Structure 1
Amino acid sequence: MFELFKEYISQKTTLTDADYAKIKAVCIYKKLRKRQYLLQEGDVWKYNAFITKGLLRFYSVDENGRENIVSFAKENWWTGDRASLLTGEPSKNNIDAIEDTELILITKANFDRLCLDIPAFNDMVNAIINKSFITSQNRIHAAISFTAEQKYLDFVQKYPDLSLRVPQAMIASYLGITPETLSRVRKETVKRH
């Protein structure tokens, strides 16, 4: 598992063998079965999580029991509840596995220490956070500005592999539309192309 993480890091920055040894020393390896929780609402999130295999979803459940999916995370992506991590407050969200998943967890304290001790690692983390912020801004813009069809086409264009791996009802939740609307949009899209 660590070799996959090391390969990911090496594509983004250059570290020494000693740096990798420091990182490896604080990694916690975790496996989740399909539908198993990584985080449940009410728990405090304490990790930075890197996915080496599988697929997760980050979501909340409203008072009517409806799931509202905020994001998906697949291989070579990070996941977690950043608000809970930074504030120490209980999470309002859940993270669970859509597929059997393997990940690397690093506690906040150890992650912060790595960022202090390894400047190149810190630079990589900041670049990832900045990219994530831009992605979130674009997602908010799409959610409030796009039609159902535009939302779906944007999702498929940005994440073609996820559109094949994620159940349609979950895609609808992520897009903020009903499964029936998604079904209609998909049929209309197929007719036009």
Structure 2
Amino acid sequence: MRQLKNDLPAWYDQLREKYPVVTLDEWQLLHSMASVKHIKKGEPLLRYGYIARHAAFIISGTFKFSILDEEGEEKIVKFGFQNDFLANCESYNKKAASAISIVAIEDAVVLRINIKRIQPLYSLHINLFRVNIQLIEELMAQQSEHQQILSLRSPLQRYKFLMENRPLIIQKISLTNIARYLYTSREALSRAKLFLHKRPQSL
């Protein structure tokens, strides 16, 4: 087993820590099916209108999941950070054009896997199936939290929620992209940010 660990690149250590149920043998199997892909800032892992065929773990970098509203304006529904999983399983399962784009917002490296190849493994490896369920649960929780944020009345309250609950977004994401995530204008968010930094105790 020690030899297997040495055969894997060092960044697998972080994935193994995040998903401890997956065995070394199973990581080795996934590694044999995957490819490392370098993605430049602004390049998509998945484009609007294309059927999703790949999923990926983020080795390094940050991604945004975006939709277009009725006016063609970009709205961000989710961010992906190091070790997170990137996929649009709905598009793959329905063989339908993706309504979501997944785009790098900084230079990134991902471990890309063909979904068609990985799905049969779920019936053979219970640990991989468990991780798949975990990923689905995480996605549902993130969607629920995003709806909770959008239910808050003002940009001030929405930004304050991120400060208290999702500081990584505040630290890593530009104000423009945070505004698109909070469904507000950059100007309104800038005023909220200034107010909170001046009077954090007032709310």
Normalized against structure 2, the TM-score is what?
Answer: 0.86
Percent identical pairs in the alignment equals 22
Match of 1:40 among 30, 33, 47: 47
Is residue 92 of structure 1 aligned with residue 99 of structure 2?
A: yes
Q: Would the aligned equivalents of 1:50 and 1:78 in 2 still touch at CA under 8 Å? A: yes
Is residue 82 of structure 1 aligned with residue 72 of structure 2?
A: no
The letter for the 2-side match of 1:38 is: L
Tell me by how many angstroms 1:75 deviates.
Answer: 0.3
Whole-Å Cα distance in 1 between the matches of residues 44 and 22 of structure 2? 33
Q: Decide which moves more: 1-10 or 62-71.
A: 1-10
Whole-Å Cα distance in 1 between the matches of residues 197 and 104 of structure 2? 30
Query: How many residues of Structure 1 are paired with residues of Structure 2 in the alignment?
Result: 193
Whole-Å Cα distance in 2 between the matches of residues 14 and 165 of structure 1? 29
Q: Which residue of 1 aligns with 2:4?
A: none
Match of 2:75 among 68, 85, 89: 68
Is residue 133 of structure 1 aligned with residue 137 of structure 2?
A: no
Is residue 164 of structure 1 aligned with residue 171 of structure 2?
A: yes
C-alpha RMSD over aligned residues: 1.9
Whole-Å Cα distance in 2 between the matches of residues 178 and 14 of structure 1? 42
The letter for the 1-side match of 2:191 is: R
The letter for the 2-side match of 1:12 is: Y
Q: Which residue of 1 aligns with 2:5?
A: none
Moved over 6 A (4+): none
- Are the structure 2 counterparts of residues 138 and 44 from structure 1 closer, same or farther at C-alpha, using a change threshold of 3 Å? same
- Are the structure 2 counterparts of residues 118 and 10 from structure 1 closer, same or farther at C-alpha, using a change threshold of 3 Å? farther
For structure 1, the residue ranges without an aligned partner over 5 or more in a row are none
Q: Decide which moves more: 136-145 or 9-18.
A: 9-18
Q: Which residue of 2 aligns with 1:31?
A: 38
Q: Would the aligned equivalents of 1:151 and 1:175 in 2 still touch at CA under 8 Å? A: yes
The letter for the 2-side match of 1:19 is: E
Match of 1:102 among 98, 105, 109: 109
Tell me by how many angstroms 1:34 deviates.
Answer: 0.9
Whole-Å Cα distance in 2 between the matches of residues 16 and 169 of structure 1? 40
Normalized against structure 1, the TM-score is what?
Answer: 0.90
